[in-house]
Amino acid sequence: MQIISLLTDFGLKDVYVAEMKAIILQICPEAKIIDISHNIEKFNVRMGAFMLACAAPYFPEGSIHIGVVDPGVGTERRAIIVETQRSWFVGPDNGLLMLAAEKEGIKHVYEIRNKAYMRFQVSHTFHGRDIFAPAAAYLARGIAVSEFGPEIIHYTTPEYAKAKLEENQVKGEILHIDDFGNIITNISISELEKLGVSEGDVISLIIGKDKFQVKLCSAYNEVSKGEALAIIGSHGFLEFSVNLGNAARQFKAEVGKCLKISRKC
Amino acid sequence: MQIISLLTDFGLKDVYVAEMKAIILQICPEAKIIDISHNIEKFNVRMGAFMLACAAPYFPEGSIHIGVVDPGVGTERRAIIVETQRSWFVGPDNGLLMLAAEKEGIKHVYEIRNKAYMRFQVSHTFHGRDIFAPAAAYLARGIAVSEFGPEIIHYTTPEYAKAKLEENQVKGEILHIDDFGNIITNISISELEKLGVSEGDVISLIIGKDKFQVKLCSAYNEVSKGEALAIIGSHGFLEFSVNLGNAARQFKAEVGKCLKISRKC
Amino acid sequence: MQIISLLTDFGLKDVYVAEMKAIILQICPEAKIIDISHNIEKFNVRMGAFMLACAAPYFPEGSIHIGVVDPGVGTERRAIIVETQRSWFVGPDNGLLMLAAEKEGIKHVYEIRNKAYMRFQVSHTFHGRDIFAPAAAYLARGIAVSEFGPEIIHYTTPEYAKAKLEENQVKGEILHIDDFGNIITNISISELEKLGVSEGDVISLIIGKDKFQVKLCSAYNEVSKGEALAIIGSHGFLEFSVNLGNAARQFKAEVGKCLKISRKC
């Protein structure tokens, strides 16, 4: 059995995702196709890269991940396959795949050029169906990755601000706001440790011009309904939440916005 | 082949559902995963329980249903497996699973405590991935349910108002409004029979301060386009609909609102 | 392995789609179920027919497609199975299936009448679960199509305006607006050729009272960010798009609206 996962910004109204799945099953009928998300914000490569990097580690070894957030479709941007220590990533060379791939350890990157493994007619607007889906399906069928095209050394990586420790505070940014309104930052446990913050402590948070004070909890309902808290989320990043509420609305948070945290004395 | 169904309030934007599926396939690669819904209103355990109870009876015997609408995640609320006469339910002990389970006949309820069947690291915010998905997958692989933890006798059941017959009327409530705007009530055929209402009769309906008169039909287009009707829905409950329209909008209906019906003389 | 695809207007909030899948797996556990779309505009048979006709050609031969956009459910409208040169279509006799089926070449159309292949109790409101899903699943299990009921000769076909060449312009209509805001018209490459328009030329476009001039490109980013373009889309129709933007919003486009194009001199 071979797992092929899909992450796109195609949405769930149109038939684009179904066409990709149909092509995969034509080539590799025994593939097990799993949707990661099709509701990545349109053209937002950074958000797609973040989501793929969150989800990929939970998949079995040898899984093949297709990512299609592809504002440059039809241009000279390359189509690539990334071989990592534990899986495969197929998609455009625009950084989308690389956050996830780097986490797993990149072994080789190949450009997809061999037309034998594309649809006979490649549209200018839908490489997900005409290039990436067939490539993943042939890979699942056991075609050697070197058959798809030449190895390449220079490829695009996504740029993310790393959280920075400055005196007694950490500067970070908002990576993602989930469907519950939880605010996921790029600040990890190690930065909190450097600040000397541990569970039960109160964190001072500055977003834009607003200041908040929230307790670092280990469960949402350590605070009352409607009250804000900080918590280490399920991906190991610092998150801000509201118990049974929506933190993004309460904190006027937006993806990409900067924030500063410090330990309340 | 083993079917595992998923019902959550996670939405379809984020990667949470995909992570649960990935974990299931790591443990039990041959599982067939079916989505029931991921668009349960956030934290609405009652709505989740209703939806699960609607869908579960249509699944094959021996299916395993995971339910995650879990406002108490990370607290002392227990994680449970319910064994019924025909299937299994895995999720939090907050009532979510019990409407469906009671319909099928509960045999035993077990608390999930054995860490051997959880992820090696259990987050405080995502038991769907770290406890419920692994438990369901190990169950699918044939691990005996008694291996997961001790049997428990006291568990949470959801509270629903039962429809009440009072003189010549039935008092009920709105259980659900579907994506078409159909209003699903908790009034069943047997209550209609007690009122002496049968197909072709006109029902007087009171919602809040508004009164309506609608015919009990057997198909939507027994009334003209845009006109309201009553109908026995596909789950055996009385529903109010508008032919080719949206009844919830027309009747200003909301989930949980009370209503009264009687036979028009 | 047998593929069964699903296209409905049920949305993804409710459990209706899951109930169909559960019924299919009860009857044919080895079926591979693929969602085409469940977000067809409610009751919009024409839109469903267009989407099904887009997606079906990419599926393997022998696939079974269930379509349920069914405003006449519960009435005398017939339930049918269409056998084409390469696949099967199951759904209501309201035109939904016929655009896709005609593309593949219709061999026979059968009415579904045999109650042995329906659920034991057929609701008046949900034939997707009670008639179409079982029929598709029994078909997948190898039941001969003639077993389901009599062959019929007269059936409903959807009416679409064909694009018309008039002197130096083509009159067409908007078939679909996708989730990116791309405007998909019913004008195909052959009509463009008759106008003498080829890549790099500028097209004059009239929608309602507004006039636009856009270049026929082969990739979205042949124009600057936010600028409009024309392009042959992935299904072979003329589309209007905005590079990294939303054309439908910019052109105030709506499905069904007429448009005229000509070659800019």
pLDDT digits (tens, 9 = 90+) for C57-72: 999 999 999 999 999 8
Q: What is the pLDDT of residue C208?
A: 84
Residue B77: what pLDDT?
93
**Chains touching chain A, criterion 3+ CB pairs below 8 Å:** B, C
Rounded Cα distance between B19 and A34, Å, is: 10
Burial class (CB in 10 A: 0-12, 13-18, 19+), B63: buried
Q: Which of C124, C126, C132, C179 to mutate to test the interface with B (most CBs of B within 10 A)?
A: C124
Indicate the range of A105-109, A159-163, C114-118, C235-239 predicted with least confidence.
Answer: A159-163
Residue A39 has pLDDT above 80, yes or no: yes
Residue A158 has pLDDT above 90, yes or no: no
Q: Is residue C261 within a helix (H) or strand (E), and if so which, with residue range?
A: strand C258-263
Token representation of residue A36: 């990661």
Q: Are residues B144 and B256 in the same domain?
A: no
Residues whose CB is less than 8 angstroms from the CB of residue A137 and which lie 6 or more positions away in sequence, other chains included: A4, A23, A24, A25, A26, A27, A28, A31
Contacts within 8 Å (CB) and 24+ apart, A208-217: A208/A252, A208/A257, A210/A251, A210/A252, A212/A251, A213/A264, A214/A240, A216/A192
Q: What is the average pLDDT score of chain A?
A: 94
Nearest CA in chain A to B134: A58
Q: Is residue C170 situated within a structural domain? A: yes
Percent of chain B topping pLDDT 90: 86
Check residue A216 and give its pLDDT: 96
CB-CB under 8 Å, A219 with B26 = no
Instruction: Kindly report, residue by residue over C218-241, the tens digit of the pLDDT.
Output: 999 899 999 999 999 888 899 999
Query: B45 with B110, same domain?
Result: yes
CB-based contact (8 Å) between A34 and chain C? no
From residue C109, how far is each of A195, C79, C239 by CA, in Å?
72, 10, 33
- pLDDT, average across residues C235-260: 93
Does C158 fall in a domain?
no
Which chain A residues are within 8 Å of C232, Cβ to Cβ? Answer: 123-124
Q: What is the ipTM of this complex?
A: 0.93
Task: Give me the mean pLDDT over the C100-107 stretch.
Answer: 95
Residues A136 and A186 grouped into a single domain: no
Q: At B169, which CATH number?
A: 2.40.30.90
Instruction: Report the alpha-carbon distance of residue A133 to residue A67 in Å, rounded.
Output: 10
B179 and B97 in one domain? no
Q: Inter-chain contact A25–C37, Cβ cutoff 8 Å?
A: no
Find the CATH number of the domain harbouring A39: 3.40.50.10790
Last residue of a domain, one of B90, B124, B148: B148
pTM to 2 decimal places: 0.93
Q: Is residue A51 part of a domain?
A: yes
> Between chains, do A221 and B75 touch, taking CB under 8 Å as contact?
yes
Question: How does residue B107 score in pLDDT terms, banded at 50, 70 and 90?
Answer: very high
User: What's the pLDDT score for residue B82?
Assistant: 98
Q: Look-up: residue for tokens 């856009």?
A: C214
Chain A contact probe: residue of C42, C217, C220 with most A CBs at under 10 A: C220
pLDDT average, residue stretch A85-94: 98
The verdict on A38 touching B (C-beta cutoff 8 Å) is yes
Q: Is A74 on the interface with C (CB under 8 A)?
A: yes
Whether C141 and C10 map to the same domain: the answer is yes
β-sheet with B31-37: strand ranges across: B31-37, B2-8, B64-68, B88-92, B79-84, B106-111, B151-152
The tens digit of pLDDT for each residue in B201-256 reads: 999 999 988 999 999 999 998 999 999 999 998 888 999 999 999 999 999 999 98
Q: Of B108, B125, B148, which one is at a domain's C-terminal end? A: B148
Distance from CA of B207 to the nearest CA of A (A): 29
Interface contact B59-C15, CB threshold 8 A: no
Q: What residues of C are in contact with residue B215 (Cβ under 8 Å)? A: none
- Rounded mean pLDDT of C38-43? 95
CA-based nearest distance A247→chain B, Å: 14
Beta bridge partners of A92: A79
B contact chains, 3+ CB pairs < 8 A: A, C
Span A200-217, mean pLDDT? 93
Are A218 and A108 within one domain?
Answer: no
Question: Residue holding tokens 């018209």?
Answer: C185
Residues B190, B122 share a domain: no
Same domain, C128 and C8: yes
For residue A150, count CB atoms less than 10 angstroms from its CB and return exposed for 0-12, middle for 13-18, buried for 19 or more: exposed
Does residue A155 form part of some domain? no
| Residue B104 confidence (pLDDT) above 80 | yes
Q: Tokens 């908002």 sit at which residue?
A: A174
Which whole number is the average pLDDT over A56-75? Answer: 95
Cβ contact A75–C39 (<8 Å): no
- pLDDT attached to residue A230: 97
Q: Do A99 and A13 sit in the same domain of this protein?
A: yes
Residue % of chain B over a pLDDT of 70: 100
Q: Label each residue of C68-84 as H, E or C.
A: ECCCCCCCCCCEEEEEE
Measured between CB atoms, does B51 come within 8 Å of chain C?
Answer: yes
Pair C64, C183 in one domain: no
Average pLDDT, chain B: 94
Cβ-contact A79, A53 below 8 angstroms: no
- Of B18, B71, B124, which has the smallest distance from its Cβ to A37's Cβ? B18
| Mean pLDDT on B68-75 | 92
- Is B68 within a domain? yes
A137 in any annotated domain? yes
The pLDDT-based confidence of C245 (bands split at 50, 70, 90) is very high
Q: Which residues, including other chains, have CB under 8 Å from residue A206's CB and lie 6 or more apart?
A: A212, A259, A260, A261
Of A34, A220, A239, the CB nearest to B22: A34
- A170 touches A187 (CB < 8 A): yes
Q: Are residues C26 and C111 in the same domain?
A: yes
Query: What is the count of structural domains for chain C?
Result: 2
Least reliable range by pLDDT among A49-53, A229-233, B156-160, C170-174: B156-160
Of the pLDDT bands very low, low, confident and very high (cuts 50, 70, 90), residue A81 is very high
CA distance linking residue C260 with residue C209, whole number of Å: 11
Structural domain for B199, as ranges: 163-263
pLDDT at C99: 92
Specify whether the backbone of B15 is left (phi greater than 0), alpha (psi in -120 to 50) or beta. Answer: alpha
Q: What is the pLDDT of residue C225?
A: 94
Same domain, B19 and B72: yes
Of B148, B174, B207, the residue that ends a domain is B148
pLDDT per residue as tens digits for the range B239-254: 999 999 999 999 999 9
* Interface probe with C: pick from A9, A14, A68, A123, most Cβ of C within 10 Å: A14
Q: How far is B178 from chain A (nearest CA, A)?
A: 18
Q: 3-state DSSP helix/strand/coil percent for chain A, to nearest 5? A: 25, 35, 40
Inform me whether the pLDDT recorded for A159 exceeds 80.
Answer: no
Nearest to C74 among B63, B220, B244 (CB): B220
Q: Is residue C86 part of a domain?
A: yes
**B76: closest chain A residue by CA:** A219
